[in-house]
Structure 1
Amino acid sequence: MDGTFRFGVVGESIRSGAELADTARRAEDLGYDVLVLRDHFVAEPFGDQLAPMVALASAASVTGTLHLGTMVLANDYRHPVMLAKEAATLDHLSGGRFELGIGAGWSREEYAAAGMPFDAAGTRVGRLEESLRILRSLLDGEKTTFAGEHYRVDGLTVFPTPARRPPLVVGAGSRRMLGIAGRHADTIGILPRALPEGTISDEITERLPDTIGRKVDWVREAADGRDVELSMMVTPVFGADPRRTAAKVAVMRGWGTAAAELVLDMPSQFVGPPEHIAEQMLARRDRYGFTYYQVPDAMLENFAPVIPLLTG
């Protein structure tokens, strides 16, 4: 990418149409580039969520420039042909502002609540890769025929044909997933790895510079020279003194005060006043290539002063 920063807000506390419209308009006014919604039908761990595709169509109708995205859809919840149809329609209705984020699905409890089989990680990831190939072809406007282990498509096209393919966004934490993202996605969200039991790793090692650097290298190796955008979901902690704020974060995360120095260097942790956080983001763009950050909607107002420091 050209190094231009983008900022998104994750609308994870939106529970009504009025809150959705207010958040979308406010995000646009404050200079955010994207509103993204999660894809969960159980209350844990983020609280009840509106259905993302329908809600984003509504948000599109009350905004003019804000992009709308999913962060991220669970592939197993929708067949890729039907998802391509919905994505093409939402992109059309929003005037080309939709960004399709998709992942393999990770919450065992959610699958169980719906009576869906929670297949082994290798199976879910293999299904996602096939789905991405189908989505990419259909949304490129191609007549698509595909025969894989999990899906078969026979000579389909999608209507309405997108003027340009909506960007594909994949969140990934393991080497195989990062490779798939590097081969097929336009934006790659670097995450801690998902664990086989159906949770996300909270290990401190997953957040250290060497680990993140290695994950970025896996993406770039798989992308093979293709231009991709690197993304991360973050929760900055503001305070006048970066070191003292880092110590607070270390204790809050259960890593202990001794981890304060590690927190200061973690690519996913931003601490201090807005100016310091902007400097950290510039440094991490230079070191790793991250240019797209999403923050939770609870931080919509607090994070806004950082945006003009990096985009103005």
Structure 2
Amino acid sequence: MRPPVSRAAFASVLLGRRAVGASLVAARCASSAASPAAAVTAYDHASFVKEIAATDPPEHLNSLLNVLQARGEKIVSPGAKRGLIPVVVPLSESPAGNLTSLLRWPTAPTGMEMPVVEVGKHGLWLLAKNVKQYIHRILVEADINADTGDDVWDAVGEAGENLYTKGDFKESQLADLDVYLLKKVGLFPDVIERKTLRHLEKGDNVSALITGEFYSRDQFPGFGRPFVFNAEILKRVGRTSEAKDSARVALKSPWWTLGCSYEEAAELAGWEDEQIEFIREKVTEEGKREDLKKGKAPEQVVLDEAAFLMDLACVDGNWDDVVDRIAECYREAGLDDVAKFIAYRE
């Protein structure tokens, strides 16, 4: 029996089209926007999010860019998407080569803010649920770091005063930085994972299991990483069957949200290449015809194709080879704004 495949992050209900500002986009016809060879207009990040990503720029976006630069990162053009997963808006690159970006979910639930992510080899790692939360965390860390603290505070401007008061971490008398972040700032995947692993190191398997389960309870909608990590914890404490179940749930999410390679997650799930073969069949013309015969709406068939192509690109590492077809899928589904954003690359 083939494993079921679903994509919660690519909603089955199509979003209404959003009006795209005309100031910079009017000069770019639809065919030019979809063509890698098209003339490129220079955008600042806020304008790019509004005009090309066709969504509202996050509050304090410019403050975040200033803070990232103060930390020694190089600001990157928002349209520099070649070779990258096509759903990100690049922000900055660290000296180590890590790329901090915004994630523009193709079909995000209404009201969901743009998460801050790091682009990795196998997809994305969630840094924070939104820009405001990420700045807040950086300010707390700067408050206890004498080397870079002043530069960060000078860069953040008035936004910093509204998010964090210098000295609050020390005055809180909380045990450590991770505890403070979870209690005062918000939930972060890396912090929750560290907390879980510390429980294991202390031999407290029960607390580790409770924290791992909490992590996977829809704290980070659309991301498969919490389920992969929970599977790893379950396996380490000898609960192999439950570990497989958790990993299989993870693989129903976009594979570029797993925080690891597909192969690692599939091994935890007890699978080999079954799902890859299944998805390759689904994106063939025959596979799409079968879905239509079963009564699936044509719009949903092409949305599924886009999601499947992104999964396969995550495995194959060939984003640029499939980005135009992914964009065309969204265009066929009536999501012209999403298609334009997906196809755009300098």
Asked if TM exceeds 0.5, the reply is no
TM-score by length of 1: 0.28
Which structure's residues are more often helix, by fraction? Answer: 2
Q: Which has the larger radius of gyration?
A: 2
Which structure's residues are more often strand, by fraction? Answer: 1
TM-score by length of 2: 0.26
